[in-house]
Structure 1
Amino acid sequence: MMTYGHSLTIGVDIGGTKVGAGVVTSGGRVLARLRTETPERSKSPSVVEDTIVSVVSELRQEYRVRAVGVGAAGFVDERRSRVLFAPHLSWREEPLRDALSVRLGLPVVVENDANASAWAEVRAGAARGVDDVVVVNLGTGIGGAVVLDGALYRGRYGLAGEFGHMTVVPGGHRCECGNRGCWEQYASGNALTREARELVASQSPVAEVLRQAVGGDPGLITGPLVSELARKGDRACRELLEDAGGWLGVGLANLAAAFDPELFVIGGGVSEVGELLLGPARSAFEKGLTGRGYRPEARVVAAALGNEAGMIGAADLAREALPRGRSRRRQQRLGRARW
């Protein structure tokens, strides 16, 4: 049975490893959701596009929606139409908005996934009621977003907030973006996994619990495994998270010098360990803050909406882009013509 709603939209969250989609109300409630794995990076962009169309079409069997918002893990242009570059996917100058709107017959908005998540946290999550916020998402890499005076700041070319690719160690680890020493090479899920694997491969006795957990094969180590063992009290895994948290705090201090926000919101899968990561991050942030002791310090808190933030934010941004003050039928006609 199809459910009708004047304000229902679909939000799609495209990450480095998954595609999540949900039907979202104007109040940020997710009525239905789907999740599937992101096709392998070596596959063509059309395969990812097919995956998006598939999950949206399945949701539309039960719900009549007005628009679709897509949060993409990559650089999105100022018109919110093309994915210019996606370090963890194969999109290059991909006209995603127009391709999807033709295939779906609906207005489509494409936004950077971190921007979408940040918007959700501001509208309905940990940053609700705060006008100046920096959101940092720790996942496969590091995504970021800035909200200034209550509005999402995208920059002149739509590329603001790519904090994960700030250079923090000149000549450091090679990054998929093409540079070396990017922040996400030290404080992301990939960084946590790399450091854990190197620790086990070094045959260090401090990594015995981690080594036993993977049968001596460093290639089986994942970020979630490190987090699980850290929660259970393993010292080596806790130290790995402390290191990642320290690098997180270094980056936050730099961002505070640039934006002077009231609040930092830390989201993404890595942040789910809570204070095991955020405690060291706050300490490093306080030590690295310019003018420390003589200025107000931004609070550092965990995100509230979890894995659904991206789809909630993308859905809300799609809703906001719809024409206002017209009948639904006329909106749909104008939407097709415009998009």
Structure 2
Amino acid sequence: MANAIGIDIGGTKIAGAVVDDLGVIVRSERVPTPKDPLELEDAVVAMIGSFRAAEAAGATLAVGVAAAGFIDAAQSTVYYAPNIAWRNEPFREKLEARTGGTVVVDNDANAAGWAEFRFGAGRLVSDMVMLTIGTGVGGAIVSGDRLFRGGFGAGAELGHLRVVPGGIACGCGQHGCIEQYGSGRALLRMANEIADAGGIGQTLARVRKERGRLHGSDVGALIQDGDPGALAALRQLGHWLGEASASLAAVLDPQRFVFGGGVASAGELLLEPIRESFFDHLPARGFHPEPDFVIAELVNDAGVVGAADLARVWVAEHS
């Protein structure tokens, strides 16, 4: 099966694409994400129909759907979605009934990580951990060439690895998760703290005053300009990500860590403090094999490419 459909349901948009078996996007569409779950389902069904209509006559392409939340191990039921009113939603069953073809559903970070493993920054290794640094922190694990989902399908929630016992409250209900120290939201908090302190934070403070508040794009631009305050915030962020990665390495022993998401656009400026902190916290350093650290390659296309390929894999394994 050369082509498959990948659909990535985000908080503001639904991105879809027909993807070939080399991970190349053949055609794509984007529509706003409806707030109502029934309208969202209609939008996904319409997108699938549009893609199939554009393919060769009679072709029924397998569909992979990626969404944030807990998905069961059968790639079928959404236990819980943070941005959609889904609770134990049999989304795969509903889509298959309406489209007449094979559909698989997976976590969005799993889909992005799988895309990087198959076609991007992780394609030359068998064991990989991906951390997606956006508003929160997403994660994906590939072990022995297989995507790790856990016994119930809700594994690899790496953003909720606890790095600070009793630390900052997290939206998951716990305290001290890496999401509160290694995300884009955390970077903004650190930048504001540095702005409040004066000194190297003077430029951050000035921009904040001019703009009313600091935005992620402001901090990103100052990082690229080499502003010492913004770089200090990024180094704090990298420290926590490196410490979390060292804990993950002790359990998973990956050959490669891949970092994606908007903050990863800082490239080596982010990777350098991550590496330093990782090696400072790696158990048995000097005797433990050392992974490498790279930036994700597929950027905004990872979700749809990974979802399509996961559908292709499911069909291959069940035919």
Query: Do Structure 1 and Structure 2 share a fold, with TM-score over 0.5?
Result: yes
1:316 to 278, 293, 309: 309
Question: Helix, strand or coil: the match of 2:245?
Answer: helix
- Where does 1:86-235 land on structure 2 (aligned, <5 Å)? 86-200=81-195, 202=196, 204=198, 206-217=200-211, 219=213, 221-235=214-228
- The residue that corresponds to 2:45 in the other structure is 53
2:267 to 259, 270, 274: 274
- Where does 1:228-247 land on structure 2 (aligned, <5 Å)? 228-247=221-240
**1:230-265 Cα shifts (integer Å, max 9, x gaps):** 101222211111111111101100000111111111
1:62 to 54, 59, 62: 54
- Counterparts in 2 of 1:190 and 1:15: CA distance versus 1, 3 Å: farther
Question: Helix, strand or coil: the match of 1:321?
Answer: helix
Matched pairs, number: 316
Alpha-carbon distance in structure 2 between the residues aligned to 1:283 and 1:199: 21
Per the TM alignment, residue 59 of structure 1 is displaced from its structure 2 partner at its CA by 3.4
Residue 297 (structure 2) pairs with residue 304 (structure 1):
yes
**1:107-155 Cα shifts (integer Å, max 9, x gaps):** 2100111211222122111111311111211122111122111111211
Alpha-carbon distance in structure 2 between the residues aligned to 1:300 and 1:189: 19
- The residue that corresponds to 2:245 in the other structure is 252
- Contact 1:82 1:94 survives alignment (8 Å): yes
- Contact 1:133 1:263 survives alignment (8 Å): yes
Aligned-partner residue type, residue 302 of structure 1: I
- Counterparts in 2 of 1:187 and 1:88: CA distance versus 1, 3 Å: farther
Per the TM alignment, residue 271 of structure 1 is displaced from its structure 2 partner at its CA by 0.9
Aligned-partner residue type, residue 56 of structure 1: I
Per the TM alignment, residue 68 of structure 1 is displaced from its structure 2 partner at its CA by 1.1
Aligned-partner residue type, residue 244 of structure 1: L
- Contact 1:192 1:240 survives alignment (8 Å): yes
- Contact 1:138 1:269 survives alignment (8 Å): yes
Alpha-carbon distance in structure 1 between the residues aligned to 2:171 and 2:36: 18
Structure 1 portions without partners, runs of 5+ = 1-5, 327-339
- The residue that corresponds to 2:78 in the other structure is 83
- The residue that corresponds to 1:3 in the other structure is none
Question: Helix, strand or coil: the match of 2:8?
Answer: strand
Could you tell me the TM-score, scaled by structure 2's length? 0.90
- Contact 1:77 1:84 survives alignment (8 Å): yes
- Contact 2:261 2:299 survives alignment (8 Å): yes
- Counterparts in 2 of 1:321 and 1:163: CA distance versus 1, 3 Å: same
- The residue that corresponds to 1:330 in the other structure is none
Residue 250 (structure 2) pairs with residue 288 (structure 1):
no
Per the TM alignment, residue 203 of structure 1 is displaced from its structure 2 partner at its CA by 7.1
Aligned-partner residue type, residue 169 of structure 1: V
Moved more, 87-96 or 113-122: 87-96
Alpha-carbon distance in structure 2 between the residues aligned to 1:13 and 1:325: 23
Aligned-partner residue type, residue 37 of structure 2: P
- Counterparts in 2 of 1:279 and 1:48: CA distance versus 1, 3 Å: farther
- Contact 1:12 1:70 survives alignment (8 Å): yes
**1:189-208 Cα shifts (integer Å, max 9, x gaps):** 222233334555x3746444
- Contact 2:137 2:179 survives alignment (8 Å): yes
Alpha-carbon distance in structure 2 between the residues aligned to 1:88 and 1:162: 16
Per the TM alignment, residue 103 of structure 1 is displaced from its structure 2 partner at its CA by 3.0
Seq. identity, %: 45
Aligned-partner residue type, residue 175 of structure 2: R
Structure 2 portions without partners, runs of 5+ = none
- Contact 2:52 2:61 survives alignment (8 Å): no
Aligned-partner residue type, residue 232 of structure 2: E
- Contact 2:194 2:233 survives alignment (8 Å): no
Alpha-carbon distance in structure 2 between the residues aligned to 1:247 and 1:16: 26
